[in-house]
């Protein structure tokens, strides 16, 4: 055997051993890393063998092809144009029928698009409200009603209206802050009893959950695109790609000490859309 | 034996004369011409492993409780889709390695297409008569990215679910039709009930039919138009020289195919990818940080992170922020990319046929634009990981964002200009070669004469 032949033979032998090993590993129950490596050896051996064969054993032959011009012969080019025109003439000479045919196809085509409407419900006003209503109990992620006084200042939990646990739309962040620091607009003065403020957790930029709270700075940060909101100032955006504040949920404390909503969020929640009036 | 088979076939199909020519077809040899083949072989791996995955995937968002062998998630509520992928990863023999090879192949597939596209761009192989195939190629890149995104979204884990969430918001931001489009596409308000099932239809049927169609067309046109080649002594515009298809090129190409397979198998076995059991099932109220998509979506994520908070208010309606970085700019970039052959023709006035490839220096302006484009995309991809950069450098993420906002404008201009200047200089040197040596010769009359050899 010449050295080149030996190289090919060695590579192909390695491949056979790899395949056999893979068979054994698989029969014994399988193991992901071994499977990958042995499969790689089996395939790599084939690759090396073929490459060594092509480069070392085949005569290094070169062939040269002539390029024919890309365009067809002139007579064909003229003939195809005139044949197309003649065919079109045959069809359009009967003007009424031709128009009827177009009309029939167009009407049918339009009807063909109707099933698209079956794909989903009409948006209607569903984007404009959530399950929060006046009097709804505030519950935590396990469904327990939240009582005023059970959270210390600077703590934050994710809350839902009772009965809509885990909702992508209704999710809110309940944060307790020092009430003297709050700078809410006058109309929202009574929305944050004992320093409990609640904002939609649904980012107004691209809809990620606004999952990070920088407690020292009183900032909420969306980990997806870093929109940052000032918790003390009505969740006004202070950095990042969003323009809208996180909608605020009006809260009150009932006579039993439970936190309840005093209504829906201050604005539609989540990312913007065409029908959302500019605020 | 071969003779009898050939004659039997030729009696019925009359294929011998075509096949005879085909087997002797010239395939020019150059390493850069194999990038497209790498993509093709990745696609074969994707189809083979993907078919295996479909046998185990449950396209359903239905709530189930996990009871399998992976202890940390036992008792957790999750979608049937996510649970089925846990079963595949932990209980099906060779299931995990198949899933990981599939995912790696997808990443390498898009990378190979991107590298192939750059090769075509910088060598000017898209020029007449190959403009149509360039456009088909850009469509294939788009389709590959879409197939990748719909594919990695299927397991319904926390990371990919967040990606779908963002995609939904971007669709929602389209003027006039956005809300309707999002409701129809996802079957209702996010997370729509049909998401996973629809993504599966897209991923395994619609996108694959389009890819196979476009790919076939792409290859048929390459075959029909014959390959481009670099200039070399003895080569002309009317001929193409290379290895014959059979046996030389066939052997080499199948060798390359097995090499691609081997690399993907090694990655799939040894390098963990998309460990969905660590991400956890999707929950629309939870998010992980940092969160990065697969690499080829990184530039879109970067655009969303960097773009300033523009929102256009039109009396009672609005165009929300994600429309500009999420729809408008990517659409414009793709349009420029797809129509580049015509843009270049309009700019240079060169509409003639080219079968010889350019080197980068032969077209300084094109090379400059290309490098600027690559730098732009690379910086946007970096911006998609601005939170990781902030962590690595120990600075606030706001700084990284502000720096990158400047860099995506300045760096491509600088790189593009530098490339242009360098290429022009090289081209000039090539056109007027410097003398190899000078010699001063003293003549018989006592004067001096200068000899130079070029």
First CA to last CA distance, chain B: 60
pLDDT at B196 over 80: yes
For residue B267, CA distances in Å to A40, A104, B255 come to 9, 56, 18
pLDDT value, residue B435 = 67
Q: Is residue B384 situated within a structural domain?
A: no
B185, B189, B398 ranked by CB distance to A126: nearest: B189
- Of the candidate ranges A152-161, B163-172, B186-195, B353-362, the one whose mean pLDDT is the lowest: B186-195
pLDDT value, residue A155 = 92
Res. A6 pLDDT band, cuts 50 70 90: very high
Tokens of B302: 């970067």
Whether the CB of A30 is below 8 Å from some CB of chain B: the reply is yes
Q: Which chain A residues have a beta carbon less than 8 Å from that of B256? A: 47, 51
pLDDT value, residue A219 = 96
Question: Which residues are within 8 A (CB) of B11 and not within 5 positions of it... i.e. 6 or more apart?
Answer: none
Give the tens place of pLDDT for each residue, B86-121: 999 999 999 999 999 999 999 999 999 999 999 999
Res. B290 pLDDT band, cuts 50 70 90: confident
- CA dist B228 and A13 (Å) reads 37
Q: Is residue B382 situated within a structural domain?
A: no
- CA dist B237 and B14 (Å) reads 32
Going by DSSP bridges, is the β-strand pair A251-253/A259-261 parallel, antiparallel, or unpaired?
antiparallel
- How confident is the model over A28-33, as a mean pLDDT? 95
* Residue B230, min C-alpha distance to chain A (Å): 14
A65, A126, A206 ranked by CB distance to B304: nearest: A206
Question: Which residues are within 8 A (CB) of A216 and not within 5 positions of it... i.e. 6 or more apart?
Answer: none
- CA dist B130 and B338 (Å) reads 12
CA angle B67, B68, B72 (to 5 degrees): 85
- How confident is the model over B26-55, as a mean pLDDT? 97
pLDDT higher at B233 or B121: B121
Name the closest residue on chain A to residue B324, using Cα atoms: A241
Residue of B285, B286, B356 best to disrupt the A interface, most CBs of A under 10 A: B285
Question: Which residues are within 8 A (CB) of A192 and not within 5 positions of it... i.e. 6 or more apart?
Answer: A179, A182, A184, A251
> What are the φ/ψ torsions at residue B425 (nearest 5 degrees)?
-65, -45
Tokens 């006058």 map to which residue?
Answer: A186
Q: Give the CATH number for residue B184.
A: 1.20.810.10
- How confident is the model over B139-161, as a mean pLDDT? 97
> What's the pTM?
0.94
B174, B241, B290 ranked by CB distance to A223: nearest: B290
Closest CA to A41 of A25, A65, A57: A25
Q: Which chain B residues have a beta carbon less than 8 Å from that of A19? A: none
Give the tens place of pLDDT for each residue, B389-447: 999 999 999 999 999 999 999 999 999 999 999 999 999 988 876 666 777 888 888 88
Res. B229 pLDDT band, cuts 50 70 90: very high
Tokens 């409990």 map to which residue?
Answer: A196
Interface list for A 164-203 with B (CB within 8 A): 166-169, 171, 201
> What are the φ/ψ torsions at residue B24 (nearest 5 degrees)?
-100, 10
pLDDT value, residue B439 = 77
| Beta-carbon separation of B173 and A272 below 8 A | yes
A29, A207, A278 ranked by CB distance to B318: nearest: A278
Whether the CB of A237 is below 8 Å from some CB of chain B: the reply is yes
* Residue A103, min C-alpha distance to chain B (Å): 27
Give the tens place of pLDDT for each residue, B8-24: 999 999 989 999 999 99
| Beta-carbon separation of B251 and A58 below 8 A | yes
Q: Is residue B252 situated within a structural domain?
A: yes
Give the tens place of pLDDT for each residue, B318-366: 999 999 999 999 999 999 999 999 999 999 999 999 999 999 999 999 9
Whether the CB of A273 is below 8 Å from some CB of chain B: the reply is yes
Tokens of B156: 């319904």
Whether the CB of A93 is below 8 Å from some CB of chain B: the reply is no
Report the DSSP beta bridge partners of residue A237.
A229
Q: Phi/psi class of residue A101: alpha, beta or left (left: φ > 0; alpha: ψ in -120 to 50)?
A: alpha
Number of domains in chain B: 1
- Taking residue A10's Cβ as centre, other Cβ atoms within 10 Å add up to 14
Residue of A141, A274, A277 best to disrupt the B interface, most CBs of B under 10 A: A274
CB B150 within 8 A of CB B208: no
Residue of B52, B91, B133, B172 best to disrupt the A interface, most CBs of A under 10 A: B172
B24, B255, B314 ranked by CB distance to A54: nearest: B255
pLDDT value, residue B453 = 66
* Residue A90, min C-alpha distance to chain B (Å): 31
pLDDT at B380 over 70: yes
Whether the CB of A226 is below 8 Å from some CB of chain B: the reply is yes
Give the tens place of pLDDT for each residue, A102-117: 999 999 999 999 999 9
- How confident is the model over B259-282, as a mean pLDDT? 97
Tokens of A217: 């700075």
Residue of B255, B356, B398 best to disrupt the A interface, most CBs of A under 10 A: B255
Domain ranges, residue B111? 28-227+240-290+300-308+317-323
Whether the CB of A270 is below 8 Å from some CB of chain B: the reply is yes
Question: Which residues are within 8 A (CB) of B129 and not within 5 positions of it... i.e. 6 or more apart?
Answer: A70, B225, B353
Closest CA to B205 of B145, B140, B147, B142: B147
- CA dist B358 and B122 (Å) reads 7
Q: Which chain B residues have a beta carbon less than 8 Å from that of A67? A: 226, 237-240, 355
- How confident is the model over B152-168, as a mean pLDDT? 95
Beta-carbon contacts below 8 Å between A and B: 273
| Beta-carbon separation of B269 and A50 below 8 A | no
Q: Which chain B residues have a beta carbon less than 8 Å from that of A43? A: 258-259, 261-262, 265
Peptide bond into B120 cis (omega under 30): no
- How confident is the model over B135-140, as a mean pLDDT? 98
pLDDT value, residue A66 = 93
Res. B454 pLDDT band, cuts 50 70 90: low
Tell me what percent of the residues of chain B surpass a pLDDT of 90.
Answer: 90
- How confident is the model over A6-26, as a mean pLDDT? 98
State which fold the A131-261 domain adopts: Rieske Iron-sulfur Protein (2.102.10)
Whether the CB of A47 is below 8 Å from some CB of chain B: the reply is yes
Q: Which chain B residues have a beta carbon less than 8 Å from that of A64? A: 26, 239-241
pLDDT at A227 over 70: yes
- CA dist B319 and B174 (Å) reads 7
Task: Report, in angstroms and rounded to the nearest whole number, the Rg of chain A calculated over CA atoms.
Answer: 35
Q: Which chain B residues have a beta carbon less than 8 Å from that of A270? A: 169
Tell me what percent of the residues of chain B surpass a pLDDT of 70.
Answer: 98
For residue A254, CA distances in Å to A136, A137, A153, A257, A261 come to 11, 10, 20, 5, 10
Helices within B235-290 (DSSP H only): 250-270, 276-279
CB B136 within 8 A of CB B176: no
- How confident is the model over B72-85, as a mean pLDDT? 96
Q: Which chain B residues have a beta carbon less than 8 Å from that of A140? A: none
Q: Is residue B369 situated within a structural domain?
A: no
Whether the CB of A267 is below 8 Å from some CB of chain B: the reply is no
CB A232 within 8 A of CB A218: yes
Question: Which residues are within 8 A (CB) of B344 and not within 5 positions of it... i.e. 6 or more apart?
Answer: B127, B350, B366
Whether the CB of A121 is below 8 Å from some CB of chain B: the reply is yes
Tokens of B248: 């030389």
Residue of B52, B169, B266 best to disrupt the A interface, most CBs of A under 10 A: B169
**ipTM score assigned to the predicted complex:** 0.94
């Amino acid at each position: 055997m010449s050295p080149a032949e030996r190289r090919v033979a060695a590579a192909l032998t390695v491949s056979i051993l790899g395949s056999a090993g893979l068979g054994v590993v698989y029969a014994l129950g399988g193991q992901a890393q071994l499977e990958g490596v042995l499969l790689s050896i089996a395939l790599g051996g084939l690759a090396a063998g073929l490459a060594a064969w092509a480069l070392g054993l085949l005569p290094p032959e070169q062939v040269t092809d002539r390029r024919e011009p890309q365009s067809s012969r002139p007579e064909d080019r003229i003939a195809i144009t005139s044949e197309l025109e003649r065919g079109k003439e045959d069809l359009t000479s009967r003007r009424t029928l031709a128009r009827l045919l177009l009309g029939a196809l167009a009407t049918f085509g339009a009807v063909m698009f109707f099933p698209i409407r079956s794909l989903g419900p009409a948006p209607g006003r569903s984007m404009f409200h959530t399950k929060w209503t006046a009097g709804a109990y505030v519950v935590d992620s396990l469904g327990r009603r939240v009582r005023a006084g059970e959270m210390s200042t600077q703590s934050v939990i994710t809350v839902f209206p009772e009965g809509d646990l885990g909702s992508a739309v209704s999710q809110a962040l309940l944060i307790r802050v020092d009430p003297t620091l709050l700078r809410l607009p006058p109309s929202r003065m009574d929305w944050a009893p004992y320093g409990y403020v609640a904002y939609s957790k649904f980012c107004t930029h691209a809809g990620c959950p606004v999952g990070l709270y920088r407690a020292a700075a009183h900032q909420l940060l969306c980990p997806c695109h870093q929109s940052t909101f000032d918790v003390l100032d009505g969740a006004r955006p202070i950095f990042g790609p969003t323009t809208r504040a996180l909608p605020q949920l009006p809260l009150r404390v009932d006579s039993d000490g439970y936190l309840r909503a005093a209504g829906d969020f201050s604005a539609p929640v989540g990312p913007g859309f065409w029908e959302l009036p500019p605020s | 034996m071969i003779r009898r088979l050939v004659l039997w076939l030729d009696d019925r199909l009359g294929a011998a004369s075509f096949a005879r020519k085909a087997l002797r077809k010239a395939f020019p040899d150059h390493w850069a011409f194999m990038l497209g083949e790498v993509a093709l072989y990745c696609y074969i791996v994707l189809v083979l492993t993907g078919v295996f995955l479909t046998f185990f995937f449950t396209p359903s968002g239905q709530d189930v409780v996990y009871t399998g062998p992976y202890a940390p998630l036992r008792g957790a509520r999750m979608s049937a889709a996510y649970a089925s992928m846990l079963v595949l990863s932990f209980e099906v023999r060779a299931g995990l390695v198949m899933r990981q090879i599939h995912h790696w192949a997808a990443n390498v597939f898009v990378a190979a297409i991107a590298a192939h596209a750059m090769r075509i761009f910088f060598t000017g192989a898209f020029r007449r008569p190959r403009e149509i195939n360039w456009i088909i190629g850009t469509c294939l890149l788009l389709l590959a990215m879409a197939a990748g995104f719909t594919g990695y979204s299927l397991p319904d884990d926390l990371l990919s679910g967040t990606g779908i969430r963002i995609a939904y918001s971007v669709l929602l931001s389209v003027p006039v039709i956005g809300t309707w489009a999002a409701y129809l596409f996802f079957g209702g308000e996010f997370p729509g009930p049909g998401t996973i099932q629809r993504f599966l239809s897209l991923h395994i049927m619609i996108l694959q039919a389009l890819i196979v169609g476009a790919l076939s067309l792409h290859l048929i046109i390459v075959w029909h138009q014959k390959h481009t080649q670099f200039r070399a002594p003895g080569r002309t515009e009317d001929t193409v020289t290379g290895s014959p298809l059979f046996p030389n090129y066939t052997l080499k190409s199948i060798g390359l195919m097995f090499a691609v397979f081997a690399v993907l198998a090694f990655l799939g076995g040894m390098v963990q990818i998309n460990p969905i059991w660590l991400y956890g099932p999707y929950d629309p109220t939870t998010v992980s940080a940092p969160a990065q998509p697969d690499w080829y979506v990184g530039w879109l994520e970067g655009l969303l992170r960097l773009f300033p908070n523009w929102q256009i208010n039109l009396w009672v309606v609005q165009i929300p922020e994600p429309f500009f970085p999420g729809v408008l700019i990517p659409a414009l970039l793709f349009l420029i990319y797809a129509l580049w052959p015509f843009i270049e023709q309009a700019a240079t006035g060169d509409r003639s046929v080219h079968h010889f490839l350019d080197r980068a220096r032969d077209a300084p302006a094109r090379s400059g634009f290309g490098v600027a484009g690559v730098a732009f995309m690379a910086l946007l991809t970096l911006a998609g990981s601005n939170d990781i950069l902030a962590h690595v450098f120990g600075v606030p993420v706001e700084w990284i964002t502000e720096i990158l906002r400047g860099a995506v404008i300045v760096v491509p201009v600088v790189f593009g200009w530098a490339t242009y200047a360098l290429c022009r200089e090289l081209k000039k040197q090539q056109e007027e070669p410097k003398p190899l040596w000078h010699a001063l010769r003293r003549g018989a009359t006592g004067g001096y004469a200068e000899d130079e050899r070029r």
